[in-house]
Amino acid sequence: MRQIGSTLLFFVLMASAQQPARFGTTTQLVVEDVLVKAKDGSPVEGLKASDFVITEDGRPQKIAVFEYQRLEENAAPSPSAPLPAKEPESNLPPVTINQIAAGKPGEIKYRDRRLMVLFFDMTSMPIQDQIRAQNAAVKFLKTQMTPSDLVAIMTFSSDVKVVQDFTGDRDQLEKQIRKLVVGEGQGLEESVSDDSSSDAGDAFQQDDSEFNIFNTDRQLSALETAAKMLGALNEKKALVYFASGMTRNGVDNQAQLQATVNAAIRANVSFYPIDARGLVAQAPLGDASKGSPGGQGMYSGSSAHASTSRFQGQQETLYALAADTGGKALLDNNDLSAGIVQAQKDISSYYIIGYYSSNEALDGRFRRIRISVKDPAVSSRMAKLDYRQGYYAGKQFNKFTESDKERQLAEAVALGDPITDIDLALEVDYFRLARDRYFVPLAVKIPGSEIELARHGGAESTRLDFIGQVKDAKGVVVANVRDNIQVKLKGETAQQLAKTTLAYDTGFTLPPGTYTTKFLTRENETGKIGTFETKLVIPDLTAEQKYLPISSVVLSNQRERLDAAVASAERDKKLLAEHPLIQDNQKLIPSVTRVFRKDQNLFVYLEAYEPSAETAQPVMARVSFFRGKAKTFETDPLLVAEGLNPKTKALPVKFSVPLAKLEPGRYTCQVSVLDPTAQKFAFWRAPIVVLP
C-alpha cells in the first residue's frame, strides 16, 4: 500500500472563549496489598492500621486507607440461576463494553471479593489451543468458582478489548467466553528460521527473527495495557494469561518486558501465565502439522535441539512474567483450569493499606517500601508478611526518554478504548483509481487551543506525532502512516493558535473491502494524546449495476495552495497527480466537522464513474438543503458533459454554493446525480451547520 504526502495546514476560525485559570498540586496514593499468614498457613485477622509501620525510602508514612478483605476459599455449587453479585449498589447506568469500571482514589470498590481476569492472547494461540483455553475457562466457571470471585474477560487480537467487566454472574461469563471467535488473531504467530524450520523447497528463505521481535513486543505491550487498565482498582488482581508460549529474542525485548512487569507491580497485578499447549511430546523431526526440516540438521540432531530450545525459551518468558510479578506459571499440564485455581488460591484474605507519599517528585525512580508489625507477640505468630517491596514513581512527560515516548504511543494504539485528551475530528473518503484500486484520503482536524496549552508551559514550539492504521475485516494492518511535524509557537502564529484549527491529511491506496481506520495524535510538550476510530467501507463501484456509481462526496470551504502547507512529510509526485482533491496546484480541504459560515462558499466535489465509456456521458447534478422534510434551497441543475478521465473513468462534478442564501441553523445537504443516458441515479446526504 502506498501513502501519499502528508501536510499540515492552519485555518482561522471564530475566537474561542478564554480558558479559566487552573491551580493544582500532585499527590501520589500508594496502595499495598499485604498478605499476613500464620505459621499454620491461615490468614491472620483482626489487625488494625495502628498495628502496622510503613516506610518509603526509610521515611515513615501515614496510613490513609486501611481495609481487610475476607475471601471465601471453597467453590460454590453451580447454580441454576446466576450467582447474586455483591457489587455495591449504584444508580448509575451500567458500564459500557471495552472498559474496566474504575474506583475512586482510596475507595475499595469490590469489598471482600477476589478479582481475577481471564486474558486470551489470540495472536499467540493456534485454533486448537484457543479451544482448549476456552474449555478450561468454562470448566473453572462451572465447578471451581467461589462466591467471593469476580471475573473479567479480556482478549488481544489486533488490540486489547475488555469483553466483560468484573462480575460474579457465571452464566454471563460463560456466554461471553463461548462468543469468542475461534481463529481470531491468526496470522501474527511466530515464524521459525532456525534448523527446525520446515523445508518449503525454496532456494532462499528470509530470516524472520526481526519480525518476531515486534510480535513479542506487541504481546508484552498488550499485557502492559491490561495492567494499566486494572490499576484503577485498589484491590489485588490476578491476570490469568492464556498463550501458547512467548519467545524473547535475546535482549531485544528486555525493555518492553521490564515495562510490562513494572506496570503490573504498580497496578497490584500478578500474572498467572498458562501454556495452552498443555503437555507436549515433540517428535524429533516434527509432527504431521508441518513439513519436516531439510538439510544436515535433521541428521546431526541440531534440528531437534533447536526445536527443544525454542520451546523452553517460550516457556521461560512465561515463567519470568509470573515470577517477577508474584504469580505462578502453569506449564506442561493438560488441565489448564488448574492454573486458574492456582491464581484463585494465591489470593487469600489480605489487608489493603494505602498512604499518600511524602515524596511528591514525579521522577520515575524506584521507591523502596518496608512494612512491619509493631506488636512482637503478633510477629512471633506470623510465618509470612507478603507485600510489594517497592514501586516506580510516576514520571512527568517532560522526563520521558525516547523509549518511554515510543512505548506510550504503542500502548495508545493497542488500547481498544478511545483517548480524548486531545479532541480530533476525522474524515475518510474514497475515489476510484482502477478496477481494484481506490485512493483513500484521510483528513484530520485538531483544535488549535490544544496546542495553546503547550505555549502556556513556556515552549516556543512543539512537535505533533501522528500514527494512522487501516485494518481489514480480519484485523490485519494493511496500511499505516507514522509522521511528526514541528509547530512553531512564536509571534503571530502563537497569537492565532487559540482561534485556529490544525488540519492534517494523508492518503492510501486500497482495494474494495471493509476496513477500520484508527488515527492517533500526540502533542509533545504536554504529552496529551487523542485517538479517533471509524469504519470504512469501500464498495466495488465497477460491479455496480443498479445505481450510478459515485465516489465519496467532499464538502469544503477552503482551497489551499500546496506550497502554503506548514510542513510536508513527503512528496510523491505520481500520487499527488492522482489525488482527486488536488487541481491546478491547489488542494480542496475537506471540512470534516461540516460547520460553515454564511459568508463562505460551500465547495462540493464528487466523481461519477462510467467504467465502460470511451467518451463522457452527460450527467445532471444539483445540491439541495432541507430542514426536516421541508426543502429550503436548491441549486440550478448542473450539466457535466466534459472532463472524463480516460484512466479512472471518473467524471468530476463540482459545485460552489454561496451560503448567504441560507439562514443560520442545521440542515441536511443532499447531492443528487442523474445519468439520463443510462437511466441511473445516485444521491448522498449529510447534516451540516451554518453559523451566522
Q: Which residues contact 683 (CB under 8 A, 6 or more apart)?
A: 670, 671, 672, 673
Model pLDDT, residue 250: 60
- Determine the straight-line distance between the first and last CA of the chain, rounded to whole angstroms: 43
CB atoms within 10 A of CB 394: 13
Residues 6 or more apart whose CB falls under 8 angstroms from that of 477 comprise 158, 469, 470, 471
Q: Are strands 638-640 and 619-627 parallel, antiparallel or unpaired?
A: antiparallel
Q: What pLDDT does residue 549 have?
A: 92
Q: What's 129-165 look like in SS3?
A: HHHHHHHHHHHHHHHCCCCCEEEEEEEECCCEEEEEE
- Per the rule left: phi > 0, alpha: psi between -120 and 50, beta: everything else, 544 is beta
CB 225 within 8 A of CB 160: yes
β-bridge mates for residue 531, sequence order: 520
pLDDT at 10: 43
pTM, full prediction: 0.57
Look at the block and give the residue holding cell 441515479.
681
List all residues 6 or more positions away from 357 whose beta carbon is below 8 Å from its beta carbon: 27, 28, 29, 30, 56, 61, 367, 393
Tell me the C-alpha distance between 245 and 126, whole Å.
Answer: 11
Q: Is 274 exposed, middle or buried (0-12, 13-18, 19+ CB in 10 A)?
A: buried
Contact 346, 290 (CB under 8 A): no
User: Exposure string (b/e) for 332-356, b if CB count within 10 Å is 16 or more?
Assistant: eeeebbebbbbbbebbbbbbbbbbb
- For strand 52-56 and strand 366-373, is the pairing parallel, antiparallel, or unpaired? antiparallel
The C-alpha R_g of the chain, in whole angstroms, comes to 30
Cβ atoms 668, 574 nearer than 8 A: no
Residues 440 and 430 sit within 8 Å (Cβ to Cβ):
yes
What pLDDT, on the 0 to 100 scale, is given for residue 203? 38
Identical topology for domains 1-16+414-552 and 594-692:
yes
Written as one string, the DSSP assignment of 10-59 is EEE-PPPPPPPP-------EEEEEEEEEETTS-B-----GGGEEEEETTE
Residue 502 cell numbers, joined: 490544525
The answer to whether 370 and 32 have CB atoms below 8 angstroms apart is: no
Does residue 564 contact residue 449 with C-beta atoms inside 8 Å? no
The DSSP output letter for 525 is: T
Fold of 594-692: Immunoglobulin-like (2.60.40)
| Strand ranges (E), 511-618 | 513-523, 529-538, 554-556, 558-561, 567-568, 582-583, 586-589, 595-597, 601-609
Domain boundaries, given as residue ranges, for the chain: 1-16+414-552, 71-79+96-195+208-348, 594-692
pLDDT digits (tens, 9 = 90+) for 38-67: 888 788 888 999 999 999 999 999 998 898
Measured distance CA(128)–CA(122) in Å, rounded: 11
- Any idea which fold 1-16+414-552 has? Immunoglobulin-like (2.60.40)
Tell me, what's the pLDDT at 23?
42
**How far apart are alpha carbons 465 and 279 in whole angstroms?**
46
Rounded alpha-carbon distances, angstroms, from residue 368 to 263, 354, 388, 399, 615: 16, 15, 9, 21, 78
Are the C-beta atoms of residues 164 and 172 closer than 8 Å to each other? yes
Residue 204, all three cell numbers: 532462499
The ranges of the chain with pLDDT < 70 are 1-27, 75-98, 105-106, 185-214, 249-252, 282-306, 416-417, 452-460, 489-499, 563-578
71-79+96-195+208-348 has which CATH code?
3.40.50.410
